[in-house]
Structure formats: structure tokens, C-alpha cells
Structure 1
Amino acid sequence: MLNVHLVPHTHDDVGWLKTVDQYFYGDRNDIQHAGVQYILDSVVDQLLKNPDRRFIYVETAFFYRWWKQQTDDMQNTVKQLVNEGRLEFVNGGWCMSDEATTHYSAVIDQMTMGLRFLNDTFGHCGRPRVAWHIDPFGHAREHASMFAQMGYDGFFFGRLDYQDRNRRMVAREQEMLWRASESLTPPMADLFTGILPNGYNPPEGFCWDQSCDDPPIRDDPDLEDYNVDDVVTRFLSIAHAQALVYKTNHIIMTMGSDFQYENANLWYKNLDKLIRYVNQKQSNGSEVNVLYSTPSCYLQELHRANLTWPLKGDDFFPYADSAHDFWTGYFTSRPALKRYERISNGYLQTCNQLEVLGGPISRKGPFGAGDSETLKKAMAVAQHHDAVSGTEKQHVANDYARRLANGWAHCQVLVSNTLSSLSGSSAPRVYCEHLNVSVCPLTETSKKVTLNVYNPLAHPVSWPVRLPVNGTAYSISDANGKAVDSQVSVSVCSDNGSAVRRGRGYAVNELLFQVQAPPLGYSTYSVSLLQNGRPSPQSSPLIVTLRDFLSSLLCVCFSRYNASDGNNSESIQMSGAYIFRPNTSTPFIISKTAKTETLQEVRQWFSPWVSQVVRLYTDSRALELEWTVGPVPIGDDLGKEVISRLDSSINSSGVFYTDSNGREVLQRRKDYRPTWNLRQSEPIAGNYYPINSRAYIKDDKDQLTVVTDRSQGGGSIQDGSLEIMLHRRLLYDDVRGVGEPLNETSDIYPEGLVVRGRLLLSLSPPATAADTHRPLAQEVVLQPLITFTDGELHPSTRLEFSGLQAVLPPAVHLLTVSQWDQDSVLLRLEHQYQASESKEHSQPVTVNLQKLFSTLDVLGVSEMNLSANQWKDEMTRLDWKAESGTLGFIRANTFCSAYI
């Protein structure tokens, strides 16, 4: 028999055209008719009417809300449906995360939050066995690796490049074994992966939702419009055609779509009929059997087939749905939101750590009641594939940012409570959240301030601090009373940079000095004003070194692509929030010559709306490029996509490297795909890839690495060159559903958004480059938290603290320290180097947990899977046979989750 697995489902975006709240309650149906609470109400009611019916649900963020509103009787009813397998959770994270623009640590957190709720609520039967990413716009290898380490048996998605799909259909390779790590010993990161036949929609003509126009099954033979025979014939034709491009006698059909099943009776009444009438044909020799099913049931049948499956070793980027439609613009869309999400991730890790180190007083202490939960939920929602991706409507993007800000406020109380407890000082703490535009009212006015520098890394950190001030000379001392070198320069924001500041501060100078902080701890610095006024110009040996770096290797320039407006002979596709499509393959140089000032740094103005500050700190491992772009002019009626291009003498031979979700690195090659012969139709957009934390080019002598401070798109269009897209401002919608152009403005920037960020460049021999860029990338993600206190601290204040007994080995990253319940802590340690990446650091490492923390007593340890919803020794996964050509890998780059 050909078994057709019908999977009733709904795809519920955790924000897109409407906010999360609007989607849940069914508000603003003038934008989009969607109400998740009614979907869940209706589905449960319909499942109870026929024990054969099935339904799957994905987004725990919505289900959690609905669950809290139910009576005890309804909750017990739903538990029974889950226990019987009639309601099945798939994926189970707080949301269905984006795969191109998310950092692995934030993905792990949001998956852990959703899966923990399902575990606590439904036990074993509520644990998803299948990862389900039916809507993200391309798929990352690191996501597959994480899903495998979370215990999933399989992974299904709907979107892949149209050329890749066509080849796989012919070869019957739409289901495969994804070997998702070059470092982990198979099958540790192997994941069975299936491509769904219709994206995530039903077959054409078989949609029976209130949002659909397909006719219902009319099965009264006395009526003139009786259509059962036609429906059955069409369905059998579709099923047989689908079977030709899949490998077994089991095929899957997704019966549902965006926010469907609000009136579940429409779907189930027609699906009941479809199953009955198609299966009746078996008495006349039909070999098609239709059944209600779920992805895990379908996967179980594929496993029973006991076949060998083709191997996949790379990823599914970039994604194109036709020749000129590459979904590579969203790698950069909404760069300010992308940065806010990234620093919020770092702040959440700090908040989690200090909640553990502070104990109960962190949540209720001298500064009130604080919590980490608010920011956890906001960050979890922000991982959604229409959140950090930048592909939502503007009012929804504003809502994501508002939620993050609210989470920050709750964590700030917690942080203040803990730092007060650890230091013994109850002095109020000040948080200066606009230091990136040189604004901090306390440092601008006070004659004496104290800095607390908290380091969330498990290794000591040295970090440059730049404070907005109005004096010309300051004395700075560290926790031991030792003087710290410093310098004062005219603030870049006091002149040309005033367009960034917009009246939010008035400091004319910047005070620069270097701080050091111990692992998982803080150090304290005292800053005292000595003299007021403006600093006099000074020369510095810093600049000589910087000029040598630039002139010997690099040309750093700013260019822009003019966005296609769809008015050309090849295609009507426009650039938009999703799609990157320049109207020419040659970027326009914004300025061949830049106005340059040399102070203690190099300041360059390429145009009134593009500038850059170049810095090389003493003993720094990297050159800093601080870029400021905007408001991007649109007076010429052209959308623009601004890039920073780094040209070098490196002979890269068309090859470059990008990270996958901030973790392992993949090789990229211009105009090439590892699994099919590419017909390249967009030479720029078709060679762009997501860069979450770093990218590099290299030859036998040199490796040039760029570390980014947020997720961005980029590529190596010319040999020896890397280009990073910084900002996009567009005038047309790209017709992918969002319904508005990516033309960001705000109350502060009504004429267009101004964005500021940093690129860090390092140049080193390829053999040792990873020893620099790996820790550098972690420092950017988990940068120190600086809090301020006005005046002097009490002499009894504890000025330095470390939560670790000793520094962890360089290969080991402390990924998670989070309060799990009243008496236990979730700990994740990570081997952060790929196999063969570093001669010294890719080797296995041993860590003694008993001697890890300085203030916590480790009474016992139980190892868990990566998402902490299953004991490691109880985790069993389906084994799959790979076709010949398997590769042997050594163990490195691993996670370890523990409950202590």
C-alpha cells in the first residue's frame, strides 16, 4: 500500500504582521484574521469527537498562554489527548526560531524554556521527538546539530532552494541523513531530515479552512453538485505523483497553514470524508491508504523501512525560490534590532549568573523584586523567524524591542541586588544604556564615579571603556588602588556625531581606559575629575601602528548597492525585507576620498551619512572599525543597501568561511553549491551568506578575520575581499507577505534610522587564527556589564570577586549558569573549538566540577541532553543507515548540560 499520512497542523507565527498579543487574542483582524486562542479551543473540541483524529502543535509560547487560562477539567482533558498521542507537540521550543540570524546560545535557551514547560506539564508523552521548521528561510547546519544533541529523531522543513529541490525530486533525495558536525563522532550530530512536499500547505485544491476557497466534499448523491468521485480521483493523482519523488511507500501531507483551524470543524469534517472515500477504493483494487498521522508516526515508518539514506554535510543557505529571488536580505534587515537582540542575549546570561551567585536575595533584595524570567521570555520570542530576522511589520518590531526593554528593567533590579550583596555596598547603581552614542548623564556631570565591571566569561577579560565626560584630565585607580593609564579625546559624538546623539547628552570629550575583570566576577574602578575643558590635540604611537596595518594589507571602503525596483527585463522582483536584489552587480563607492582626522584614532567621513572611527588599542588582538550609517538618503527614489568592503592582498581563490549560528565554521565558494550544479543568476545576492559572529578569508600565509557585533549578511565577491552589509533602507515591498517596505524611522530619527556598530579585524597566520577569533567572538557576544555608582564607595566594600575557583581551560566556554529550581542549577560547559581548528585547543579537555565554583557547593551532578529535558543516560534516538561515503570525525566542539 501507498500510505498517505495526513498531518493536521497550524502554523502560528509568534509575531509577524501582528504582535504576539494581537495574534493570541485575535485582535487587529483588519491586518490579518488570526486568533490562536480560538484555534486551540476549536481543535481540542474537535479531537474529542473522533478518536482517529490527530493534531500537532509547535509554538509553546502560545500554548503556555492558553494553558494558563484553562480549567482543571480542560487541562485534564488535554493531558488525556496528549497521553493518547492524539495531540502531539513537535519542535516544542518557545517559538520556531530563525536559523540565519540567531546565535546558538539564544536558540538553546528558547528551546529549553519551551521544552521544560512541556516536560513539567505532560511528562514523557509531551516530549517532542521531531524538530519542525516549516517556515524559516534557509536552514543552518548548527541548528541540525543542536536538534540532534537535544534528542530529536528527525527534522522536517518546507523551504529549500528551488534548484536543490528540483534535483532532489529527480534523484528521490528529499529525505536524507544530515551529518551536522565535522567534529562530533557520528551519529552524535546526525539527524534524519525530510523536505515536505508542499512547503507547509495542503495539496492544491484540498484546503478546507475558513480562510480557503476550495469547495467542500459534497457527498450526498441526491445533490447535483455531488463531487466525491472528482475529489478522490484528484487526490489519488496527487498521491501517486508525490510517491514518485520520495523513497518509501509512506508519504506525508501537511493539512493546514498559517493560523488555520480557528473553526476546526471545517477541516476535520472534510478530512474524515476524504479518508473514508479514498480508502473505500481499496475494495476496487486501489493501493492507497490514507490515515490521520503525525510527523513522529511518519518518521517511525521511514525508520522501519530500513533503507540507506543520502548524506548531507553542508547547509541550506542561501535560499532562493526562483532565479532572481534570493532570500539573503534579511541577513541584515533591521540592524538596530539585531544588535539589541544580541546584547540582550549577553545581558540575560549575566542576569542568570548573578541570580545564581546572589541566591534568594537577588530576586528580593534592597532594590526591590527582580527576576530573570521576563527577559528570558522576551529573548525567547525574539528568536522567532519573523523577529530577529527583521521580516516583521514595523509596529511588531517595536513590540519586540519593548519586550526586551521590559526584560532589561526586571534584570537590572536583580543585578543591583546581587552586586550589592556581593560587594557589601547598598549604594544605588546607575545603568548607562547609551554609551554606544557617548551618553551617560552620571559621567557627564559627576566629579567622582565608581565603575563595577562584571565579566560573564569563564576567562579573565581586558576591555576598553569609553566614557562621555566634560573634563580634560582624570585619575583612575583599579581595585588594588593602582593607577590606570587613560587618555581624553574630543568626542566623535560632539561634532559630526551629534546626528546620532539627538540631544540626549552634552559631553564634549571621551575618557578611554582599559579594564580587567576576573572570570565570572567583577572588578571595581574609581574615576576622579582633575581638570575641566577641552583636550588639546595629541599625537600617539597608536596611530602609526594603525596606519601600517591599513596601508600594508587593507583597503576599507564603504559602498552601496542600489536596490532593484523590479522594473527590468529579467525579473520584476524588488529588494525588500527578505529579498536582496541589487539593480547592478557593481557597487557604488560612497566616496573615493574620505575626510580624515587623526587624533588618538582615525576618524573618517565618507559622506554626511556614512562615517567610521578606526582604533587599535594597546596590546589588542584586533583592529576596531566603528561604523555609523544613516539616515540613508532616499531623495533620489532609490533604496540603498550599504556595505563595508575589506580588500586585501590575500589570495583567497574564491573561497571564504562563515560561522553557523556563531559556532562551527563552514567553507563557502563563490558561485558554487556542494550538492548540485548551480546555475547562478544573481552574482551578488546569490553569493551572500549569514554571518552571525565571524567570517574570514585566507591563503597559505595570512588569514583575515572579521568579527561582527550582530548577525549580518556578507560574502567574498572578489578574491581577497570580504564585504559585510551594514544597513538597508528600501522603498518597495518584496511581495513575501509583510506588506510594507523596509523603510525604518522612529521618533528620534524621523528622517531615517541611524545605526552604529563595530567590526573587529584580525590578521594572523591561518594555523593560529582560531586561537584569536574564537575567544574574540565570545567576548563580543558576552561583553562585560558596566554599572556606575556616584561618588566614593564605603571603605569596607568588596572591590573584586570571582565566582570561579580557577580559570577554565581556553577550550572550554561556560555557556550556561542558570537557576533551575530552589536548590539546583543548570550548568552548560562547551568545548568551543572544532576538530583540527587549533593544534593546541581542539584536543579533549577535562574539567573538575567539584573545583569549579568558589561560592557554590556541588553536592551532586546529573548529566542531561542539550535542552535539559531528558537525562543523558535515558536519551535514545533512532539509528539511521547512511549511504557510502561517510566521513570520520574526532570528538571536539561538544556541549555538556548538567543539573547540579
Structure 2
Amino acid sequence: MEFPVVWGLLFGAALLCGGEAACGYQSCPVTKPNMLNVHLIPHTHDDVGWLKTVDQYFFGVRNDIQHAGVEYILDSVIPELLADPSKRFIYVEVVFFARWWGLQTEATRQAVQQLVAEGRLEFVNGGWCMNDEAAVHYSSVIDQMSLGLHFLKETFGECGRPRVAWHIDPFGHSREQASLFAQMGYDGFFLGRIDYQDKARREAVREMEQLWRASGSLEPPVADLFTGVLPNGYNPPMSLCWDQSCSDDPIVDDDSDENNVQNLVAYFLGVASAQSKHYRTNHIVMTMGSDFQYENALLWYKNMDKLIKHVNAQQLHGSHVHVLYSTPSCYLWELNQANLSWSVKYDDFFPYADGPHQFWTGYFTSRPALKRYERLSNNFLQVCNQLEVLAGKRANVGPYGNSSSYELRKAMGVAQHHDAVSGTAKQHVTNDYAKQLSVGWDACQVVISNALASIGGSKENFMFCTYLNISICPLTEAAHTFVVVVYNPLPRLVNQNIRLPVNGNHYSVTAPDGQAVLNEVIPVSSFTQKVRRDRGNAINELVFQASSPPVGYSSYTISKVPGRNQAHSKLLKRLYEPAPPAKGIQNEHLRVLFDPKTGLLKEIQNLDKSISLPVSQNFFWYNASAGNDDNEQASGAYIFRPNNSKAFPISQGVHSYQVKTQVVQEVYQNFSSWCSQVVRLYAGQPYVELEWTVGPIPIRDGLGKEIISRFSTNLQTDGRFYTDSNGREILERRRDYRATWNLSQTEPVAGNYYPVNSRIYIKDQKVQLTVLTDRSQGGSSTADGSLELMVHRRLLYDDSRGVGEPLLEPGVYHDGLVVRGRHLILLDTAESSAEQHRLLAQQEFMAPQLVLAPGGGPPYQPGQRSLKQNMFSSFTIVTVQEMNLAANQKQEDMRRLIWQSDAAYQLVAFKLPTALSISSGTTNQNSQVPWERGESANSSMPVTVNLMNLFSSFTIVTVQEMNLAANQKQEDMRRLIWQSDAGTARYRSSSKLDPARITLQPMEIRTFLVQIQQEFHR
């Protein structure tokens, strides 16, 4: 949209006359100290997909589903702001703004830049989207925030940097999210949704605003964040909505029979007075907007102009209410200037309920396949990012085409939206999320292929087998010889169990050093054959263990050995004969025993620690409520509501058979025609793997079902269990308890469910049982000594929260979704469990990536002899301290920002500690969880790192410390200081940076912008 030339002339005249632009707190409007100041915040909430896809929302397509067109919102708001210097507007979702910005003329861009410079168009939050907080990993949160913040910095400079976090729609709030925002430099955080009981108590005691101490490890105020609960979600007060989508009467102030000024002013003053009783200062906030509003901004602004005029006119008649256009940061500034002491919150805001039977805990599990795809996509993105930097420009331009990681980073940014990875969008929108991720994968496959060819010295025909979890890979099924490249994104040596679909009975596996690797060939299970149906034809799986060096790869050569293997023939015969239930399996560390009558798991023994724990595991289903006499609320995409607290076993016993080899031992359990599991022990591994397959969930009986895997033990847990917060710090949960109010529990199952991003555990004073997940799931301990994880849901009714369709996923064959996943079980002493489960959770999240090739490709440089490199590591270990660093958790994360004019240099953002993660075009990404304070006697200690000599493939030239999101220099970060009931914490003055001696405290993340020079060239 082009704006009249006159606006450009007005702006130019203002600047020529000495009108210096001022953004941030300096641009805030004047308030009145002796009055109740009502801050009107014009805003729009634009979901990054929900009922319509991202593109449909932006362009206004499919208005038969929902009338919404984001580009028209921005087109409409900008002229209103330009016409009146008193007007304000805030914008949040950068994915939409960046799309709109790319379509504008230069004149429009200059006008918008001026509005931003004056603080009248303010960006809040500033991420690519407004992310979910329950089903996300902290790594992906930082990634999507960095993507949006980098765009704002590059486009608007310092004035584009948001001061306020704004999560008005997510369905519950995590402590880790607040911690990340604080470390990104935000001064405050505003929420829209909290539990209805919590909100009622807060209103009664005037505690709608407080200080959130969001880390038990980071020294205050590093993770402290002032947090406010908005009075009306994110909607305007009742009867005061003036959008074209609203039906409220406009303000009529003419000489007319319809004149309603007196009534509306009186009503408004009453609303303001009532609201002020819940807050502590003479400042309150009103959110004037809602979902996709302001397509016709004139309607809103004209009525707000009238409201301001007529309410403020009452000051001449004794009113003490002052109304003004404002922004969240200006409101926050006034709260800070009030110089009050605020209460402190230490826990999180889960679970969220908006009524006695409406716990929003179903979405912790909804759409489990998308949740897994999102998690895998982040893993693949980090590998892509790393190789993009390690190989330099040859990763982007090479023999396999021209590409970058940007497409996958954008898709991952969209996937973090609170209706995306949460599983709460319509089916066609969910399909679009998956499509965007798939397009990003395609682009990164080109990057990875280019990089591996450049580094390895051979132009192989690289292939990516993305269906290995159901034993499909055309290359390995057909080829007699092939190569497996195992790339490890972690800066420590990793051993990975490899399973490849094959049709031979005997294979040789050769390691990079030429040594033979022990391997076994076992039959593809009937479970897998049923899931894959007509896709793939492998009859066997080749199983072996591979080792990969830090931030590098190892290449293994696989060759089929001719001749029939007699031992394998006997194994096949035994597997397809009727067999009694398995008694047990065992490796060097663990023994797993089964009930001889039922075939179910009954006991796990840790042989290293001489621990034996009775553990019964089975699959159960909750009958999803369709509404009942107590309440009509149904279970749906958002809400979990079983019709009673009893879960029904899918089976009282299982049909089973077992496979025992030198590499792996497995017990196959068949619970029903739609539920099965493999209990697996790999040689040398200290965990039990449970590979479960669930679906299609039957619904012909007319009942929706919510499927759980439940573990029952004799541990005395006193109503307590533990879950991670976004893959980072651990939080204690207590059944039927909330730390900040006296809970009236109305849903004993759903009201005790919490998000589990990577792990959940129960323990007594001696023993701890931990379950690691491969995606985000809902979990709980509904009885002492028990824990459960919800793995799948299939529902017949909508839960009336807007999505308008039941969670009834069709799956590939349109007969219901089948989901396969893994739980890893750890049994250890309570005092030594933390170190083991953190490292394993990290490896699950940042697993090695397999890239396959037939082998025998030509040299990378034509005409030269092959320089094929079977092993590569970019990580250098110099001292014992750094060896411990690599073996534990202190790691580097770097992401390529931009190429400098000198092609030999890159600008990169590192984060310490974290798994090395590299990408082009934005800042940092962390994939490693450092230890919490006091969590481990060995690892919860400060570590000093020499940043300058950790890598062999490039040299660090310059170093600049940044905030967590790398959009502001650490030396420039000046966050507001808040007084609290726990005392006023002050920021320590930073000492001069010495890149050779960077000390990291427990849970601390430090980000560095560095210039690097490539050392590796072919």
C-alpha cells in the first residue's frame, strides 16, 4: 500500500525542525500522578495458523472459515498512526510483519520506520510467532525468538527491540519461558490466561502483578522477570469492542436520539474503578483489540478518540480517571516508577483451567505425530546449521544445488506457535505445518549433501531415509554395499544404536578405521509390517552400534555377505513358532523380568547398583467425556476430561516372543490389534527402551479414547513427582496441590496432568525411576508409586474452544492415525540419577543424523585423486578440563548470522553452554541442558572455557558478548530493577571479557558474537 506523499513531507519537516525521534521508555505519553491512568493498548492477536493456514490468514483467503486478513490489518493501521501523533499500536507476530514488509514500497517503509523510531508502532514479544509454552523445547523457543528479533534489529535497529514479552493466548505458562525472556533482556512479561481459581485469588489480594523468579539455579536477578496478568485476557472490556467483527454500539456523541455518551462514560468509569481494585498502582491497562482485529482501524480509533475525549472531560466535574493511548512498555514503565515491593513467584502456571471441569491438559499430547515431527525437525535443523558453517559457502552452493537452512528455520519458527506444536489447529492447518517442515527438510538435505561432499572429499549420491522407524529405506533394502555416514551434533563422543532395513541374512560392517563391527540381522517384526503396510519390503533389520566423534561424523561401510546364515534361519523359525511369555532379558547393566502368566513387565534390576524395583507397565485408556450431568464439557484438542478417574487396561496380558542376540535383546508384546510394544536392551546401554505403537484407536463403540502408558511401583512418593520445564530445569509436582493457592480439585486426573518435554520421574529417599520421552506428552502420577504418560488421543467431540472439529486424525490411510514412539527407562539411586538422565535426554534430543550413500562417488575436485575422509570432527580437546567439558555439558552453540564482505570470514553467534548449533541468517540455538545448582556433585560446578581453541575447522578472530538472543550487546543490556518481598537484587558489573577464560555457572547461558576464519578448504 502506498501512502500519500504528504506524510513523507510532514516527517521530513519534523526532523528538520529538530524533532528528534525517541523510542522506548522515552517515547511514553505523559500520565497524571494524582489520577487513575487507564492505558488503552490498541492491538491485534494474529494466530500463526489455527483455523486457517498461515498464508490463508495473511491474504484473507477462506473467509468462509474465519474472516481474517493480516495484510489488511497493517494496511489499515499505518495510515491511522500517521494521521495522529497521539495514537499507538503494538504488533507481535514477526512472520506476518516480515511478509507484509517485503511487499511494501520504499516510501511506506520509511514512514513505518519513523513510527517505530517514535515509539508509536511498538513491537512486543518479537518472535517469529507467539510460541506455545507447554509442548516446546527451550532450544526451539530461543531459535524462533532469535529469528524474529534478528529481523527487527536488521530492519529497525535499537528501536525495533522489544522491551516487553507478550504471551496473551498460550494455554498455561512455563517457568523456563520466563527465564529465557529475562536472559533475552526483556523488562516485563504480560499474560492473558491463568487458572480461574488462581486469578480469583489474585484479584482478591491485589496480586495480579509480581516478580517471577524463574530459575532455582541462576543468581537473581538474571532470571527474574516482572510479570503481569491482564484483566480481561486480551479482549476489551465488555461492550467496548469497536471492530468490524464486533456488535457493540459505537459512541454516538452528536445531537441525536442515539446519543449514548453519558451512559458509556458512566459504564467505562465503573469498569475502570472495579478493575483498579485488583491492581496496586494508579495505573491500569485495557487491551483494545482481539483476534485478527483492526482490518478497519478507523472504527477502533474513531471510537477510542471519542472515549478518551469524553471520559477525560469528566475531570472538570471531579473525575479522577485519565485515559490515554499507550503500549505495554509504557504501562510497565509506570509500574516500575511506582517503586513498590512486589511478591515473588517461584513455580509455573500449569495446568491452566478456565472452569471447574475445563483443564487444558489434553493439548500436552494432542497430535503426537506432529509433536514428534517437530522434534525431529529441530534435530535435523541443528545438523544442517552446523554443517552450513563448518563447510562454509560450499554448503550453500555445491554439486547438489543451491540452498540454505533458512526455509527449515522459518518452518520451525511457525511450528512453535501456540496452535501448531500444541496440536490445537484444524486438520488442514496441521497438514500445512507438516508441509512447511517438509519443504524445509528438502532444502537442508541439499545443504547437508553439499557440506558432507566438501568435507569428505567425495561427491556421493547421498540419501536420507526418513522412514527408518518403520524399516523403510530403498537403498539399504536393495544394495549389496552401501555407506552409512553417522553425523553427531554433540561435542562429545556418542555411541548410537543403528537399525537398517535389509533383505540379506548376513552382513559385514566396517568402521572408519577398517575394523569389523559386531552386528546382527533380526527379522522385521509383524508389528512393523502391519504399520508400514505396502511401503517397503525389507524382511530383516541390520543392528549394530556406531561411534561418532564430537561435532563430526563417522562413515561405516556395509556389505552383504553371500550365503545363507544357519543361525539366522533358526532364529526365524523360532520367532514364528508359538512361544510362552518371555521370562527376562539382560545386559551388562540391567535385568528386565516379565510376569510368566501375563507377559507384562514386572521388575527392573540395576546390576551396577544392586537395585531391584518391582515395576508393572501396561497400556490403559481413559474414556473421553462427551459431557455429563455435572458439566457439558467434552474432552477435545485442548481439554482433557475423562468421564471418570478410572483407566481401563487395553489387555490384562500380552502375546509375546523374544529375540536374544549379542547386540540387542528384545521382547515383543502384543496388547491388541492396535497396540503393541517392544521392550529392548542394547548391549552396554544403561536404559530400557520401550518402543510403543498405538493406533488406529478404535471408535466404533462410540467412545473417544485417551491412551496412556502407566508404570506402577512400590515407591513411597508422598504425592510427589517431577517433570522438566521445556527440557531444562526440573520442577516438583504435587498431586492435588498448587503452591500459590488452596486448590479445589474438581478433576482428579486431568487436574494433575503436566507437560513433559523430555522426562518425568518418581523417587523415594533411595531409588528413582525416570522415563524419558521422544516428544512432548502429558504426564502425571495419579497414585503414589505410579507415573503415566499419555501417548495418543482420538476423540469424537469438539471441546468448544474454537477449533470447531474433533481430534480425529485420519492418518496416512484415512482409517485413523498410527503413532510409534519410544520411552527410555532409567533405574538408579536418587542421588546419582540426575547426571545420567540429563545426558541421555540431551542425546535423545540431539541424536546423530544418518546419511546414506551407495559409495564410490567421484572426488569432490574433478581431476584430483579421491580425498575421501571417513571420519571428521570440528571439535578440538586440548586440556583435561576441556575434556570434561566435552564429556559433560559445557558446549558451544554457534549460528551463522551474515557473510562478511571478505569471503574468508563469517559472523557467528556462539552460546555457552549448549550443543554446537550453527545456522545462517540468525543468532543462536541451544540444544544442551547444563546442570542445575546442586544437582550433581561432579557437574554442578563452575567451568572455565577457552573459547579460542575449541575448534579445528576455523579460527575465532574477534569476540563480543551478547544477550541470550544475540540482538543486543551484553554491555548495553540495562534491564529495569524491581523491588521484591525477597529483597532487591542488583546486576553485577561485568568484567572485561577474556575469551580464553570464560566461566560458566550452573544453568548459565552466555552468548558470544564472533568472527571466524575458515581453516578447512578443499
Counterpart position of 1:866 = 964
Number of paired residues?
A: 895
2:830 maps to which of 751, 761, 766:
766
The alpha carbon displacement at 1:700 in A equals 1.4
Aligned counterparts of 2:893 and 2:432: Cα–Cα separation in 1: 27
Which residue type is aligned with residue 510 of structure 1? E
- State whether structure 2 residue 177 is matched by structure 1 residue 106: no
Instruction: Map Cα deviations across residues 653-674 of structure 1 (whole Å, 9 max, x no partner).
Output: 1101000010011000000000
Which residue type is aligned with residue 550 of structure 2? P
The alpha carbon displacement at 1:546 in A equals 4.1
Q: How does 1:280-429 map to 2 (within 5 A)?
A: 280-429=313-462
Aligned counterparts of 1:875 and 1:343: Cα–Cα separation in 2: 34
The alpha carbon displacement at 1:811 in A equals 4.3
Counterpart position of 1:803 = 874
1:77 maps to which of 94, 104, 111:
111
1:816 maps to which of 876, 893, 896:
893
Aligned counterparts of 2:453 and 2:785: Cα–Cα separation in 1: 51
Change (3 A) 1:857 1:791: closer
Contact 1:328–1:580 (Cα < 8 Å) also in 2 = yes
Which residue type is aligned with residue 703 of structure 1? Q
Q: How does 1:159-178 map to 2 (within 5 A)?
A: 159-178=193-212
Contact 2:493–2:550 (Cα < 8 Å) also in 1 = yes
Q: How does 1:419-498 map to 2 (within 5 A)?
A: 419-492=452-525, 495-498=526-529
Other structure's SS at 1:819 match: strand
The alpha carbon displacement at 1:531 in A equals 4.1
Counterpart position of 2:910 = 827
The alpha carbon displacement at 1:536 in A equals 2.6
Which residue type is aligned with residue 506 of structure 1? N
Aligned counterparts of 1:294 and 1:621: Cα–Cα separation in 2: 53
The alpha carbon displacement at 1:140 in A equals 0.3
Counterpart position of 1:665 = 730
Aligned counterparts of 1:801 and 1:685: Cα–Cα separation in 2: 49
Other structure's SS at 1:404 match: helix
Other structure's SS at 1:12 match: coil
Question: What are structure 2's unaligned runs of at least 5 residues?
Answer: 1-34, 575-581, 595-600, 604-612, 661-665, 859-865, 878-882, 900-905, 914-928, 988-999, 1011-1018
Which residue type is aligned with residue 189 of structure 2? F
Aligned counterparts of 2:591 and 2:793: Cα–Cα separation in 1: 29
Other structure's SS at 2:139 match: helix
Which residue type is aligned with residue 324 of structure 1? H
Q: How does 1:753-792 map to 2 (within 5 A)?
A: 753-792=817-856
The alpha carbon displacement at 1:891 in A equals 4.2
The alpha carbon displacement at 1:793 in A equals 6.3
Contact 1:489–1:535 (Cα < 8 Å) also in 2 = no
Contact 1:6–1:254 (Cα < 8 Å) also in 2 = yes
Counterpart position of 1:35 = 69
Aligned counterparts of 2:40 and 2:428: Cα–Cα separation in 1: 36
The alpha carbon displacement at 1:824 in A equals 1.1
Question: What are structure 1's unaligned runs of at least 5 residues?
Answer: none
The alpha carbon displacement at 1:771 in A equals 1.1
The alpha carbon displacement at 1:496 in A equals 3.5
Aligned counterparts of 1:359 and 1:846: Cα–Cα separation in 2: 29
- State whether structure 2 residue 336 is matched by structure 1 residue 271: no
- State whether structure 2 residue 190 is matched by structure 1 residue 156: yes
1:18 maps to which of 39, 46, 52:
52
Counterpart position of 2:794 = 729
Other structure's SS at 1:356 match: helix
Counterpart position of 2:271 = 238
The alpha carbon displacement at 1:556 in A equals 1.2
How high is the TM-score relative to the length of structure 1?
0.98
Aligned counterparts of 2:175 and 2:851: Cα–Cα separation in 1: 38
The alpha carbon displacement at 1:326 in A equals 0.1
Counterpart position of 1:524 = 555
Which residue type is aligned with residue 307 of structure 1? L
Contact 2:461–2:857 (Cα < 8 Å) also in 1 = no
- State whether structure 2 residue 602 is matched by structure 1 residue 551: yes
The alpha carbon displacement at 1:532 in A equals 6.2
Counterpart position of 1:875 = 973
Counterpart position of 1:578 = 638
Aligned counterparts of 1:813 and 1:603: Cα–Cα separation in 2: 39
Contact 2:281–2:338 (Cα < 8 Å) also in 1 = yes
Contact 2:766–2:831 (Cα < 8 Å) also in 1 = no
Aligned counterparts of 1:38 and 1:387: Cα–Cα separation in 2: 23
Aligned counterparts of 2:411 and 2:287: Cα–Cα separation in 1: 30
Q: For structure 1, which segment, 14-23 or 465-474, has the greater mean C-alpha deviation from structure 2 after superposition?
A: 465-474
Q: For structure 1, which segment, 810-819 or 752-761, has the greater mean C-alpha deviation from structure 2 after superposition?
A: 810-819
Contact 2:39–2:284 (Cα < 8 Å) also in 1 = yes
Which residue type is aligned with residue 389 of structure 2? V
Aligned counterparts of 2:190 and 2:854: Cα–Cα separation in 1: 55
Which residue type is aligned with residue 604 of structure 1? Q
Other structure's SS at 1:551 match: strand
Aligned counterparts of 2:591 and 2:649: Cα–Cα separation in 1: 23
Which residue type is aligned with residue 892 of structure 1? P
Contact 1:612–1:627 (Cα < 8 Å) also in 2 = yes
Change (3 A) 1:571 1:888: farther
The alpha carbon displacement at 1:785 in A equals 0.6
The alpha carbon displacement at 1:543 in A equals 4.6
Aligned counterparts of 2:569 and 2:724: Cα–Cα separation in 1: 42
Contact 1:471–1:532 (Cα < 8 Å) also in 2 = no
- State whether structure 2 residue 675 is matched by structure 1 residue 675: no
Aligned counterparts of 1:810 and 1:489: Cα–Cα separation in 2: 33
Contact 2:978–2:984 (Cα < 8 Å) also in 1 = no
- State whether structure 2 residue 936 is matched by structure 1 residue 838: yes
Give RMSD over aligned pairs: 1.6
Q: For structure 1, which segment, 261-270 or 769-778, has the greater mean C-alpha deviation from structure 2 after superposition?
A: 769-778
Aligned counterparts of 2:893 and 2:270: Cα–Cα separation in 1: 52
Aligned counterparts of 2:179 and 2:767: Cα–Cα separation in 1: 30
Change (3 A) 1:24 1:508: same
Other structure's SS at 1:599 match: strand
The alpha carbon displacement at 1:535 in A equals 4.0
Instruction: Map Cα deviations across residues 677-714 of structure 1 (whole Å, 9 max, x no partner).
Output: 00000000000000000111111111111110000001
Aligned counterparts of 1:763 and 1:106: Cα–Cα separation in 2: 29
Contact 1:185–1:888 (Cα < 8 Å) also in 2 = no
Which residue type is aligned with residue 584 of structure 1? N
Other structure's SS at 1:537 match: helix
The alpha carbon displacement at 1:48 in A equals 1.3
Counterpart position of 2:625 = 564
Other structure's SS at 1:205 match: coil
The alpha carbon displacement at 1:203 in A equals 0.2
Which residue type is aligned with residue 513 of structure 1? F
Instruction: Map Cα deviations across residues 704-730 of structure 1 (whole Å, 9 max, x no partner).
Output: 111100000010011111100000000
Counterpart position of 2:814 = 750
Aligned counterparts of 1:224 and 1:863: Cα–Cα separation in 2: 65
- State whether structure 2 residue 669 is matched by structure 1 residue 609: no
Q: How does 1:843-858 map to 2 (within 5 A)?
A: 843-858=941-956
Identity %: 58
Aligned counterparts of 2:857 and 2:397: Cα–Cα separation in 1: 23
Instruction: Map Cα deviations across residues 180-207 of structure 1 (whole Å, 9 max, x no partner).
Output: 0000000000000000000000000000
Other structure's SS at 2:271 match: helix
- State whether structure 2 residue 1005 is matched by structure 1 residue 895: yes
Instruction: Map Cα deviations across residues 194-229 of structure 1 (whole Å, 9 max, x no partner).
Output: 000000000000000000000000001x21111000
Aligned counterparts of 2:421 and 2:792: Cα–Cα separation in 1: 15
Other structure's SS at 1:330 match: helix
Change (3 A) 1:874 1:888: closer
Change (3 A) 1:310 1:733: same
